[in-house]
Amino acid sequence: MKWLKSTSQKAWTVGTGDKQYVIPQCDTRDNRWLKVGDDEYAEISSLPVVASLIKAGGITVLSEEPAELRNSVPHLQVTNTQLKAELDTVKAECESLRAQLANTTGIDIEKIKDEVRQQCEEEKKKALEELDAKASQEIEARDKTIEKLKKQIKKLGGESEE
């Protein structure tokens, strides 16, 4: 693709075969450029008058889209609309992430403390029951030992102490 524009306030009309092209003047209200394909450009630039105008700088030829077209009001309005839509999407996503963050930092610490206290109480109770059972077994074992010793004392002829 090629973009052509006159460097003066003169617009150029060029005819090739059955087609006619208008190369716009330098200053136009809507920053117009003539946009042609490479084949069409080859036809236009092969005309002696156009070739001399291009060589002398009377016609500007660009291989890339001119910045003034990209920055035209209609183009910028479309870009602005797209950017606003993207911004709205990002804002919604940001709010969603903030809500998630609030939920994760809104941990009920008191509830966790109560659960830990309850677990500690249960473990304490379980440990006391185990200790009580061990103590009872130990007391029974000692009572049996004391009974055996009392019987042995009686057998040996001594009096039992009570």
Mean pLDDT of 74-91: 89
Q: Which of 1-10, 97-106, 134-143 has the lowest mean pLDDT?
A: 97-106
Taking alpha carbons only, the member of 8, 48, 45 closest to residue 28 is 8
Q: Is the pLDDT of residue 162 over 60?
A: no
Where do the domains of the chain lie?
A: 2-70
What DSSP letter does each residue of 14-62 carry, written as one string?
EEETTEEEEE--SS-TT---EEE-HHHHHHHHTSHHHHHHHHHTSEEEE
Q: How confident is the model at residue 160 (pLDDT cuts 50, 70, 90)?
A: very low
Taking alpha carbons only, the member of 62, 73, 7 closest to residue 35 is 62
Q: Which of 61-70, 79-88, 133-142 has the lowest mean pLDDT?
A: 61-70
88-134, pLDDT tens digit by residue? 999 999 988 888 877 776 667 778 889 999 999 999 999 999 999 99
Q: Is the pLDDT of residue 17 over 50?
A: yes
pLDDT at 93: 93
CA atoms within 13 A on the CB side of 96: 6
Non-local (6+) Cβ contacts of 102 within 8 A are none
Q: Is the pLDDT of residue 158 over 80?
A: no
Read off the pTM: 0.44
Provide the mean pLDDT of the chain. Answer: 86
DSSP H/E element including 155:
helix 109-155
What DSSP letter does each residue of 50-104 carry, written as one string?
HHHHHHHTSEEEESS--HHHHTSHHHHHHHHHHHHHHHHHHHHHHHHHHHHHHHH
